[in-house]
Amino acid sequence: MYIEVERLSYSYNPTSPSAYALKDVSLTIEEGAFFGIIGHTGSGKSTFVQHLNALITLPTAEKKFKPKKGVAYPSIRIGDFDLADKHTDWKALRSKVGIVFQYPEYQLFAESVKEDVAFGLKNFSQTPLTPEETEAHVKEALTAVGLNYEEVKDASPFDLSGGQKRRVAIAGVIVTKPEILVLDEPAAGLDPLGKREIMGLLHSLHRSWCKTIVIVSHDMDEIGENCTKVAVFADGELKFLLPPSELFLHDEELEALGLDIPTTAKVRRALKERGISVDTDFTSEDFARQILALGGRHV
């Protein structure tokens, strides 16, 4: 499934239209992408993400919507789902597009890990699942996030460590096998090892179940290492839509927006100031290769 967003504008307070959270955003996220969204706090990232699950509905999908002539309304299409149509089945949409919000461990509520993970499964399934089916799905999801099913299934989610809680929460979203997985700051607040593990987990999910992954992040290294394409939001507007290899060439513009750049881009700039130019896609792997290729000539 692909995501196609057109002319998306949104204001939390329609009476003062100057305060737009999103202004005329149009973008497409292709199937199979590992898509990154970066931007400041308050840049409209979260508002954008909430639209993808119809947690914020488009004006044309409101119950009391009356069309006005000459207004180009925003539209969002996700695969076969038309989010501008109020007859679209939101539940079906939400089972196909999973969203993991910031600090997802704060949504855990059930007595045991397996019950919590099964919550979404029960909500989405058209016909009640047998206990065996449920268990099979839950086991699969928990294994996919790197947890030992037998060890954690009966534990209280509140007794787990921070990293484990986050994995359980992610398992609770991927248990319905969404085709698109959107994660808002999936690694925030974790230690470096936890961060690496979560990103590794996302890559293995990307290879197996979730064809398309969208992550919202502040961490440029994370974006630079992992994403195939990046959208940059500022003040509700889409400023850039580029692959990282091109995006981070705009280092000064990004810094003017108050954003960081990956370490590789910083090193590349420092080398450039010393007269050494490195041509890289900004992943540390490629960067090292390019440096080594230069090595003989400059040292």
Residues that bind other proteins (CB under 8 A): 50, 53, 55, 91, 94-95, 98-99, 101, 104, 106-110, 119-120, 122-124, 158, 172-173, 176
What are the distances in angstroms from CA 222 to CA 9, 167, 217?
A: 28, 18, 8
Going 225 to 228 to 234 to 236, the CA torsion angle's sign is negative
Length of the chain: 299
| Of residues 181 and 261, the one with the C-beta less far from other proteins | 181
| Of residues 129 and 271, the one with the C-beta less far from other proteins | 129
| Of residues 89 and 246, the one with the C-beta less far from other proteins | 89
For the CB of residue 255, give the shortest distance to other proteins in the complex, in Å.
31
| Of residues 102 and 245, the one with the C-beta less far from other proteins | 102
For the CB of residue 121, give the shortest distance to other proteins in the complex, in Å.
8
For the CB of residue 65, give the shortest distance to other proteins in the complex, in Å.
18
Contact present, 175 and 115 (Cβ < 8 Å): no
Those residues whose C-beta lies under 8 Å from the C-beta of residue 237, and which sit 6 or more positions away, are 23, 24, 25, 44
For the CB of residue 101, give the shortest distance to other proteins in the complex, in Å.
5
| Of residues 155 and 291, the one with the C-beta less far from other proteins | 155
For the CB of residue 275, give the shortest distance to other proteins in the complex, in Å.
50
Burial class (CB within 10 angstroms; exposed 0-12, middle 13-18, buried 19+) of 213: buried
